A = this chain, B = another copy of it.
Amino acid sequence: MKIAVDAMGSDSHPQPDVEGAVWAAREHDVKIIFVGKQNIVEPELAKHDLSGLDISLVHASEVIEMKEHPAAAAKSKKDSSMVVGMRMLKKGDVDAFVSVGNSGGVLAVALLYLGRIKGVKRPALSAVFPTRKGNCFLLDVGANTDCKPMYLLQFAIMGSVYAERVLGITNPRVAIVSNGEEEGKGNTLVQETYPLLKASGLNFVGNAEGKDIAAGFADVIVTDGFTGNVVVKFAEGVAGFIFDLIKEGILSSPVTKLGGLLAQPAFMQIKKRLDYREYGGVPLLGVDGTVIMGHGRSDSLAIKNAIRAAKQAVEKGTIDAIRDVIAQSLAASSAV
């Protein structure tokens, strides 16, 4: 299996991108094709022992930066690492493309050069969330700020396939974010989407209130990209705030400081549990190829795990499975 990796993706590229991918090549037995600036990536590659690994580099003279306007950059930077990598995926030269760069950029480049799976109305950005009962897969977290009921239905369908095949969750429970548990609660979008989800054949468990998300109420939770984005960023903000308060509180006296020191193993455990790096990357669902994205802050562990996710998605035939269920869903709705 060949995986193209954007060597210019992470905030501290190319170091984590290269190290993580080389690590993945050895641990997960995949061929890696780096895409990026030759004069920057080659010296980084030289730092690693590549013996026995199938690793190559394709030069791309441009980079879509984190702060750039995604759609404009996708169009103008035709020789960027994202565009070059995505075109390799389109042509079938590689099985998947992994980038932890500008997520709007990956989305725009994928729409432009890869296109959507037939029948898919909109692609969705996704996130994996730690919960009391494991992880939950949330989408859309930012690709579509204004959604229609059919988009959310398709997010649920695609999310279920991914959760089942890549995250290994049998018959995943699907929910929709709402402001109340009961059927009938929600804004107009939720109220109109509810009956579609109910009739979808998915394992739909109903509305998920804000508190239900962390409680582990469902495995796959759909929402519009506006609400999803706010929730994901809010979670980061709240968690960071709480941990900073704890740190501050613990450092406030010698006794609490000693206590904090003794309790440190507990905190390390929690940090690991809440660590986004453990889940690897997340898929861009709905585009016609396996694209795995990640946080710009990704380190080599996160990148290695993103590549593991890409490998699993390809092995489990995720794209073809999505193609099939979307086609079935459209056939069913047109038959009504």
What is A's interface to B at a CB cutoff of 8 Å?
131-132, 142, 145-146, 177-180, 186-188, 190, 209-215, 224-227, 229-246, 249-250, 252-253, 255-256, 258-267, 269-270, 273-274
Q: Contact between B210 and A236 (Cβ–Cβ < 8 Å)?
A: yes
Given A187-B224, A246-B267, A256-B265, CB of A239 within 8 Å of CB of B238: yes
Contacts of A227 in B (CB 8 A): 226-227, 230
Contacts of A269 in B (CB 8 A): 249, 252
Which secondary structure characterizes the binding site on chain A?
helix
Q: Contact between B131 and A241 (Cβ–Cβ < 8 Å)?
A: yes
Contacts of A258 in B (CB 8 A): 259, 262
In the bound complex, what is the Cα–Cα distance between A178 and B240 (angstroms)? 19
A136 to chain B, nearest CB (A): 12
Residue pairs across A and B with Cβ atoms less than 8 A apart, 28 shown, are A132-B244, A145-B188, A177-B230, A179-B226, A210-B232, A210-B233, A210-B236, A211-B237, A214-B234, A214-B237, A214-B240, A215-B241, A231-B234, A242-B274, A245-B274, A246-B246, A252-B269, A255-B262, A255-B265, A256-B262, A256-B264, A256-B265, A256-B266, A258-B259, A259-B260, A259-B261, A259-B262, A259-B264
Q: Contact between B255 and A259 (Cβ–Cβ < 8 Å)?
A: no
Given A214-B238, A240-B214, A261-B259, CB of A246 within 8 Å of CB of B270: yes
Q: Contact between A263 and B250 (Cβ–Cβ < 8 Å)?
A: yes
Q: Contact between B179 and A145 (Cβ–Cβ < 8 Å)?
A: yes
In the bound complex, what is the Cα–Cα distance between A250 and B187 (angstroms)? 41
In the bound complex, what is the Cα–Cα distance between A328 and B315 (angstroms)? 64
A254 to chain B, nearest CB (A): 10
**Tally of this chain's copies:** 2
Contacts of A266 in B (CB 8 A): 246, 249-250, 252-253, 256, 259-260
A208 to chain B, nearest CB (A): 9
A321 to chain B, nearest CB (A): 29
Contacts of A179 in B (CB 8 A): 142, 145, 225-226, 229-230, 233
- Indicate which residue in B146, B211, B242, B249 contacts A233 across the interface (CB closer than 8 Å): B211
In the bound complex, what is the Cα–Cα distance between A269 and B249 (angstroms)? 7
Contacts of A180 in B (CB 8 A): 229
In the bound complex, what is the Cα–Cα distance between A19 and B267 (angstroms)? 39
Known: A252-B269, A256-B266. 8 other contacts (CB 8 A): A145-B187, A209-B233, A211-B234, A211-B237, A226-B227, A242-B243, A245-B270, A260-B263
- Indicate which residue in B146, B255, B259 contacts A187 across the interface (CB closer than 8 Å): B146
A240 to chain B, nearest CB (A): 7
Q: Contact between A234 and B237 (Cβ–Cβ < 8 Å)?
A: no
Measured CB to CB, the nearest residue on chain B to A69 is B182
